[in-house]
Structure 1
Amino acid sequence: MFSPQGPTLRELTVQALSSVERGYDLLAPKFDHTPFRTPDRILEATGEALRGRGPSGGLFEAGLDVCCGTGAGIGVLRSLCRERVVGVDFSTGMLTAARQAVAGPPRTPAVTYLRADARALPFTAAFDLAVTFGALGHFLPAERAAVFAGVHRALRPGGIFAFPIAAPPPPRSALYWTLLGFDAVMRVRNLVWRPPFVMYYRTSSLGAVRADLRAAGFAVEVMPVRGAARRPDGSPGWGLVVARKP
């Protein structure tokens, strides 16, 4: 699962026994060499699905990457936005890695990074596109309302909040039991160890996420994406949630 440049078992153990913020500060230099980084095929498919949906000749003016990590999603926003792109994360280490990844001569759109908590985003009507990749599992179900409300507030009228979401694996699959076991281990860990490390794979079902987005004021659709892997029953393995602010 990990390349030779990735973290050691000891480093992963130290991370898992830290807070979410501290854990990602420690993991940041090697994060892109782990399977936790969103695969390029998903990033590319997301960009393709959103292309042409912007208000300015199919492009968006300003884009926001919520929980940007090391900046994997910044390239998606740069391909879709023409004015500016902002990446937000609360891990200083991840933001440092993201800034290093875009080091070099400035180009359009400009990219800036900001340390902020996604549950209290400091923006109002500043963007017409927001994305997030692989971050929802770091929020307890009760916290999603604050995240979605903050994104809704940050978007201009007509703005889009988009993110990929995986279809649940069938109960007879190995992946189903792997994710179930992982979540169970994390719950036990958080019962007996402080500070908590919030990372759950099974708390962000499409139904729950759709309900929370609608409660925040979004109109929600789920778009199919080209090249999505198929499940045994032939249905797509993931889709793109597109939530629009009226």
Structure 2
Amino acid sequence: MRAGPTFRELAVQALSSVERGYDLLAPKFDASPYRTPDRVLRPVARALAGLGPFGTGLDLCCGTGAGVAVLREACARQVVGVDFSAGMLARAAAALGAPRTGPEVRWVRADARALPFAAAFDVAVSFGAFGHFLPRERPGLFAGVYAALRPGGLFAFPVAAPPRVGSGPYLALWGFDAAMRVRNALWRPPFVMYYRTFPLPAVRADLVAAGFTVTTAALGELGRRPDGSPRCRLVLARRPA
């Protein structure tokens, strides 16, 4: 089993820029707790299978390619993984190799806030990357995804329910975000990664403002909270046909 990053390696990453940090982390990223786990990927893959078939797919901020693997099950012709870390893209390409069957896979180095595509995809996904974007950047990010989709195209991503106020997970996320804000106030370059800046109501409003029609679907396999609400929802933002 591949060893995960050491504390020292994580500290060096945290004191780097986002891009440089992920270049450094790439060789061990899949053995770290930051990779989206299969228990999240599998329900999303099953949900997309019921919404397709799709011809072409985009994995936004693809990292080492977890979302590309999901899209290869849902798309018939081509899947593109986009990330601005050359190290993560290299790791993704090495891990996936050259698929012998299924859609063509391409890797593109680009900033998600300036996607080099126009009406090119039937579906786009993203996993675990939205904490790297400040709330003021979301409108531009979503507008770029909207432009990259064909009319009728779908932008899908999971959003976890917020932890109960005062609970252990709530305090852990609050503490992490507070530490990152202090770090970014004292150290340059900044490393943007926050866990509490992507609330579903605000995200839905920004998606609607970008032109999407938005629904959500419960990912029931991931469980429910004590009040019966789902622990995780799949956001389904569609560009009108």
Q: Please report the TM-score for the alignment, with normalisation by the length of structure 2.
A: 0.97
SS of 1:49's equivalent?
helix
TM-superposed CA distance for 1:47, in Å, is: 1.0
TM-superposed CA distance for 1:39, in Å, is: 0.8
Partner Cα separation in structure 2 for residue 10 and residue 234 of structure 1: 41
Could you list the per-position Cα deviations for residues 64-100 of structure 1 after superposition, in whole angstroms to 9, with x for gaps in the alignment?
A: 0000000011111000000000000000000000000
TM-superposed CA distance for 1:138, in Å, is: 0.2
Equivalent AA in structure 2 for residue 100 of structure 1? A
Whether the aligned pair in 1 keeps the contact of 2:131 and 2:195 (CA below 8 Å) is: yes
**Aligned partner of 2:76 among 78, 82, 85:** 82
Partner Cα separation in structure 2 for residue 133 and residue 226 of structure 1: 18
Equivalent AA in structure 1 for residue 182 of structure 2? V
TM-align CA RMSD: 1.1
Asked if 1:5 is matched to 2:14, the reply is no
Whether the aligned pair in 1 keeps the contact of 2:220 and 2:230 (CA below 8 Å) is: no
Structure 2: gaps (5+ residues): none
TM-superposed CA distance for 1:4, in Å, is: 6.8
Could you list the per-position Cα deviations for residues 11-56 of structure 1 after superposition, in whole angstroms to 9, with x for gaps in the alignment?
A: 00000000000000000000011111111011110011121322xx
Which residue number in structure 2 is paired with residue 234 of structure 1? 228
**Aligned partner of 1:220 among 211, 214, 223:** 214
Matches within 5 A, 1:42-121: 42-54=40-52, 59-104=53-98, 106-121=100-115
Could you list the per-position Cα deviations for residues 162-214 of structure 1 after superposition, in whole angstroms to 9, with x for gaps in the alignment?
A: 00001010013100000000000000000000000000000000011101101
Which residue number in structure 2 is paired with residue 39 of structure 1? 37
Whether the aligned pair in 2 keeps the contact of 1:228 and 1:239 (CA below 8 Å) is: no
Asked if 1:169 is matched to 2:163, the reply is yes
Equivalent AA in structure 1 for residue 217 of structure 2? M
Moved over 4 A (4+): none
**Aligned partner of 2:183 among 189, 204, 225:** 189
TM-superposed CA distance for 1:107, in Å, is: 2.5
Whether the aligned pair in 2 keeps the contact of 1:63 and 1:77 (CA below 8 Å) is: yes
Partner Cα separation in structure 1 for residue 76 and residue 51 of structure 2: 13
Partner Cα separation in structure 2 for residue 4 and residue 39 of structure 1: 16
Structure 1: gaps (5+ residues): none
**Aligned partner of 1:126 among 99, 120, 130:** 120
Whether the aligned pair in 2 keeps the contact of 1:161 and 1:244 (CA below 8 Å) is: yes
User: Between Structure 1 and Structure 2, how many residues are aligned?
Assistant: 240
Which residue number in structure 2 is paired with residue 156 of structure 1? 150
Equivalent AA in structure 1 for residue 39 of structure 2? R
CA distance 1:105–1:4, change in 2 (3 Å): closer
Equivalent AA in structure 2 for residue 39 of structure 1? P
Counting aligned pairs with the same residue, the percent is: 65
CA distance 1:69–1:122, change in 2 (3 Å): same
Could you list the per-position Cα deviations for residues 75-129 of structure 1 after superposition, in whole angstroms to 9, with x for gaps in the alignment?
A: 1100000000000000000000000011145322010000000000010000010
TM-superposed CA distance for 1:229, in Å, is: 2.3
Q: Please report the TM-score for the alignment, with normalisation by the length of structure 1.
A: 0.95
Which residue number in structure 1 is paired with residue 18 of structure 2? 20
